[in-house]
A and B are shown apart, each in its own frame.
Chain A
Amino acid sequence: MNQRNNSKKWSIISKIAIYGKGGIGKSTISANISAALADEGYTILHIGCDPKHDSTRALLGELQIITVTDSLKKSEEYEISSYIRTGYKGVSCVEAGGPEPGVGCAGRGILRTFELIDRMEGSLYHHSYTIYDVLGDVVCGGFAVPLRHEYADLILIVTSGEYMSLYAANNILRGIRNFDGERGRIGGIIYNSRGGIREEEQVKRFSQAVKLPILITIPRSELFLSAERLSRTVIEEFPDSYETSIFRELVAHLSSDRDPLPRHTAFPLEIWELESLILERKQDPLPIAIHDTVSAKPIVNMPVITDESHSYNPERPPLFGCAFAGAVAVLSQIEDATLIAHCPTSCAHILSNLLISAQNRNKFQITTPRYYPKSFLETGMDERMMVFGGEQMIKQAIVTAAENGSRIQFIISSCAPGVIGDDITGYASTIAEQTGLTIIPVPVHGVLAGDFTEGMLSGSRAATQIIKRDLQKIDKTVVILGEKVLANNTSLNFNEINRYLSFLNITVVCRFLSNTSIDEIQLIGNASLILPVSNDETTQTIATIISEITGVDIFPCPFPYTFHSTSRWIKALSDYFNVTEKGEALISEQVIRYQKEIDVIKLITAGKRVIIASSGPDITWALEILHECEIEVIIAGYFSSPYNSKQTFISHDSPILLSYTVDQLYEDIGRYSPDLVLTTISLDNKKCNLRYGMIPFCPNTGFYGALQSMKHWADILTGPVQEGWRNDL
């Protein structure tokens, strides 16, 4: 024992976590500590927290057969006693186990083991000491579980004098610092010598720098190897050896009631300090990563986050929904493709509800429900899959889909597979090779790839993989691109546009991706033109990708909402396809009817004054129809919001404010007393008493799209200033 501190009375130790770099000998040391404690007559629970499950080998004389994670693998629920085997002098041995190297999540296996330990605490298994032998480094939250206060009241760190071993020891101190702050829980260092030059000096320097004692020094000794060959501890095999006496001395201090071992605070070094100390490199302090929150020293020049600050880091605005949902939403529009959602059931529940509800809402707007997604399979990730990965379940889903005649399968991953590193791209490639099926991975990993829009983009990109190349162009055929599949009026808008296209003898070969099929997507290259629904960034990106694959031109005008924009859209389209006369006929037959309707509305609206304020949706179409109906727009603005980029806003004669606020809106209502406010938010009737109408997020398209909204707003102008129910809120 190198250092002792008797100045403070320490609590009695019963749970000891032993950490150290992989291969440094901590399993050997932990097993000998358990054996030495057992020799003293204590009851011991020895828990190996290493996927290779060899911690208890020396205590049992063989490898533990059933590990805790085995129960997950075999989908069997064992009795607690099944996991516990009795070894040397009655030591109870448990191995956490883990998945095969390179798959699944070993940390999750550790978490599962500690759930078992929680259950054991309420059972008959009581031990004087619990020894945790924990894998090399604090690699993730799972491996850090033994550090949690309820599990370990003493932490011992095993290291040699080699740099990487000391580096790992320092990392462990960083983890402990993160958990404990100034609280002391570290007993000290167990120096396991490798016999290197100046090794002892390096360990001593490190121990002094991090303010930890070296509890024992274990020499390099053949006795350890001899005992290991027999799957035994040196305590058992060489009870009278010097090596055994070292462990006995340590456990005497560990088990002392009168003079328990002092516990120390973690003071990890910065990397440059460690390198300077051990490698004797002269280095300046390195810039510190933003995420580094465990340093023992104050970090300079870092933004300080106070309790009063509840806002997000402006560099990382909150994500709206997840990419998994976006990808599933667009790919579910391919009627004869199978979607394999690799996710927990909760994600599948949310998504299936969202998609079917959207279809249900659209039912009155389609003549015949031609398509419904018929194949949506979920892997239902459970605890077992979280540890071992989902390859088997994905294979099973692929086979099921293939048996049901599925031609193409998309595998889409949620957050959980992303976190455990499930390689769906690898699975897809292997299975496709074995079976000859077309399997397309969409590894968005839930929110890891971004928000809902990002997922729509990823899903659409994946679908472009099935487009056939070098197809002959067919005249007067188009691809419609970027319909809003979750809107209530998707089908209504398509039907309206398709009516115009039919009039011009133009055929839609594919709606990408809305109510479509594999065949239609494959033959996109036959089309002469891509018709984007909007000019937002996502739609334009997908249009560019398809155009690059197929050589199909992109039409520059998005779907129109007003009479005049529809006329321009039809004119441009009919010119493109050399059916100008037909286009003119289509427009001219609407002019008189439209003008009549406007004249009727103007009887109500002419001379009225409006404020229009949107929290995202485009308002330029609304400004056009308001103008036509001789309404004066006092203020037009977009609320400032993390969710709108304003990249798509089109310039207009009326000045549009781009950073309007709700407070300004209420002020302007008070100042100008408009006849009507058009907005996307609910107005507080206590703050203003006036008529207001909502701006639709997805307006109807075509000659009469904007007019339909205008008619509704005109009706509001003829109704009461405020409805009675608002007084009851």
Chain B
Amino acid sequence: MIYTVTPPDTLTGMILGAEGIPDIMVILNSPTGCKFYHGHIADLKRNESVISDPYIRSEPWFFGQTRIPCTGLDDCDFIFGTQEKLEKLLNYIKTTYKGLIILINAPGAALIGDDLVKVIRRSDVSERCIPIEIPGTSLPASGGVDSVIVKILEHLKPHNRLKEEKKINLLGLSILQRYCEGTRRELIRLLRKEGITVLSSPGAGSDSDTIRLSASASVNSIVFPEYAVNTAEWYEKTYSIPFFISPEGSPIGFDATYTWISGLCRIMGTESTFVEYEIQKARKDAASAIARINSISGWPRGARFAIQSESSLALPLTKWLFSYLGMIPVGIDVMDGSYPPYLQEIQKFLQEINHSDCFGTFPGDKPDIIFTDGVTGTMMKDLGICRGFIEVNHPPSGKVEIVPRTILGVSGSLLIIEEILNILK
């Protein structure tokens, strides 16, 4: 039994789902133990140049951090209720912050059943505070992102205007995922070249005003279905906006990227010539680099890989690594909350290539490279379980990142190849 990082759950999903909207303030009704981690991650992901000092920062309720104020519950609050602290916190926040507030009960606080709606009403912030009384415990984080985005959309009520041709929303991107900003930029870049404009990406950097304009989109395109099927269905039901889910999974690797972009282009009535050209060019660059390494060492053919991720990422990655690079799957662990159709596709594919025994195991038998979160990856590399790792999930390894990067799209495919070759050479 190997110790890996327990994946995040609904609470983290909801907090970071909402924190991905820059002008929203998430408040936690919780002890500080639930707050510090999320405050740190939110601060890191938003990359704001505000200095934290937990010992000296005097602002109340923030406990020295820049994000996620919390009630700081203690044992007495669990007996006598949390309303008094909540009211004081809301009264403070409403004077210092003018935007939308998401008030989330952490699991312990949710148990005592305090009436958040009443506190919000008494604090006179009903118009701009969304209570989330029961976040659901120990459920997948992706569902938390999806549900909090729906709640925010319900509150923001995007303007129901005429649909604009060739304008889409990117759904299913969240700052909870690795390289969110880089991924958003890459997909916007590729789509723009095909004449498609991205109106908004709720949960991945779009502010409230931008999201209010999102109902003008003629299609919603889903990057990671685990994080957005409910959101997409909400748009469809409320504004009759259809949504697109690629049959090959998220746009990772050349093939799935082409399928994702060209599929969307077909729906939008445009050509996908730019992406086709860009992928051809990238494949040539990649092939030259691969050939150099391959001629010396024989790699990457036959290199063993293991993946621990959601199915939308695991499916295209497994197929691409196997078919394009000749790498061999030894452990494919699909996380809870994965998109079921992709899950079935992975099993089918592994069966076809006679590697179905690796499904459900991680890291499997002597992998050379593992695709997982940064913390687990670092530990496994240190333990000699693998030769290297590529970060595909939260939490990050802690490495400082300034340049936006991605593992999706054309740039992301090249980055993955680069990383693989550097590990194996």
Contact = CB atoms under 8 A, between A and B. Distances in A.
Interface of A: 105, 107-108, 110-111, 115, 140-142, 144-145, 148-150, 179, 291, 293, 305, 307, 309-312, 316, 318-322, 324-325, 344-354, 356-357, 359-361, 363, 369, 372-376, 378, 380-383, 386, 404, 414-416, 418-420, 446-450, 452, 615-616, 639, 641, 643-644, 662, 680-682, 729
B7 A345 contact: yes
A381 B111 CA distance: 12
Interface in B95-114: 106-108, 111-114
B53 interface: yes
Say which size band chain B's interface belongs to: 35 or more
Contact of B138 (A319, A382, A447, A641): A382
B12 A349 contact: yes
B74 interface: yes
B56 A357 contact: no
24 contacts: A105-B111, A107-B111, A145-B113, A318-B32, A324-B33, A345-B138, A346-B34, A347-B34, A347-B107, A349-B5, A351-B6, A356-B379, A360-B382, A372-B3, A374-B2, A382-B137, A386-B111, A414-B108, A416-B107, A416-B108, A418-B108, A419-B108, A446-B31, A450-B75
Contact of A148 (B6, B76, B79, B118): B118
B111 A345 contact: no
Given A318-B72, A450-B75, 4 more contacts: A140-B113, A346-B138, A419-B78, A447-B73
A316 B6 CA distance: 33
Contacts of A293: 84
A693 B55 CA distance: 17
* A-B residue pairs, 4 tightest by C-beta: A141-B113, A415-B108, A322-B33, A615-B55
A579 to B, nearest CB: 37
B86 to A, nearest CB: 12
A150 B7 CA distance: 36
B33 A356 contact: no
Given A322-B33, A349-B8, A644-B55, A307 B91 contact: yes
Given A386-B111, A416-B111, A615 B53 contact: yes
Nearest to A376: B3
B234 to A, nearest CB: 13
A688 to B, nearest CB: 14
Nearest to A387: B111
Taking chain A's interface residues, is the majority helix, strand, or loop, or is none over half, making it mixed?
A: loop
Contacts of B55: 615-616, 639, 641, 643-644, 680-681
Contacts of B32: 318-322, 447
A141 B81 contact: yes
B37 A353 contact: yes
Contact of B137 (A325, A361, A416, A616): A416
Given A349-B9, A382-B137, A372 B111 contact: no
B72 A344 contact: no
B92 A310 contact: yes
Interface in B24-38: 31-34, 36-37
A22 to B, nearest CB: 19
B137 A447 contact: no
Nearest to B93: A310
Contact of B51 (A140, A419, A682): A682
Contacts of A681: 53, 55-56
B285 interface: no
Contacts of A375: 1, 3
A104 to B, nearest CB: 11
Contacts of B63: 318
A360 B84 contact: no
A322 to B, nearest CB: 3
A352 B4 contact: yes
Contact of B379 (A111, A145, A344, A372): A372
B153 interface: no
Contact of B375 (A345, A353, A373): A353
B2 A448 contact: no
Contacts, number: 211
Nearest to A415: B108
B38 to A, nearest CB: 8
B11 interface: yes
B398 interface: yes
A475 to B, nearest CB: 37
Interface in B62-79: 63, 72-76, 78-79
A111 B155 CA distance: 23
B115 interface: yes
B108 A115 contact: no
Contacts of A318: 32, 63, 72, 74
Given A322-B31, A615-B53, A681-B53, A346 B379 contact: no
B359 interface: no
Contacts of A356: 3, 5, 375-376, 378-379
B170 to A, nearest CB: 26
B179 interface: no
Contact of B33 (A111, A325, A643): A325
A205 B150 CA distance: 52
A456 B36 CA distance: 18
A381 B107 contact: yes
Nearest to A354: B37
A144 B369 CA distance: 54
Nearest to B87: A307
A110 B113 CA distance: 10
Nearest to B73: A447
B10 interface: yes
A447 B2 CA distance: 28
B277 interface: no
Contacts of A352: 3-6
Nearest to A644: B55
Given A344-B138, A359-B379, A616-B55, A349 B118 contact: no
Contact of A319 (B6, B74, B78, B107): B74
B6 A415 contact: no
Contacts of A382: 137-139
A69 to B, nearest CB: 14
A226 to B, nearest CB: 38
Given A111-B113, A360-B378, A373-B3, A415 B138 contact: no
Contact of A380 (B54, B61, B134, B138): B138
B283 to A, nearest CB: 35
B10 A346 contact: yes
Contacts of B162: none
B117 interface: yes
Contacts of B4: 352
B338 to A, nearest CB: 16
B130 to A, nearest CB: 15
A566 to B, nearest CB: 28
A319 B72 contact: yes
A682 B50 CA distance: 10
B403 interface: no
B53, B60, B398: most-surrounded residue (chain A CB, <10 A): B53
Nearest to A364: B382
A73 B142 CA distance: 25
Contacts of B49: 729
Interface string B377-401: 0110011000000000001011000
Contacts of B383: 369, 372
A319 B115 contact: no
A662 B58 CA distance: 10
A348 B136 CA distance: 15
A319, A324, A349, A616: most-surrounded residue (chain B CB, <10 A): A349
Interface string B395-415: 101100000000000000000
A145 B112 CA distance: 10
Nearest to B91: A307
Nearest to A148: B115
A96 to B, nearest CB: 13
B193 interface: no
A118 to B, nearest CB: 10
Given A344-B11, A372-B379, A615-B56, A360 B398 contact: yes
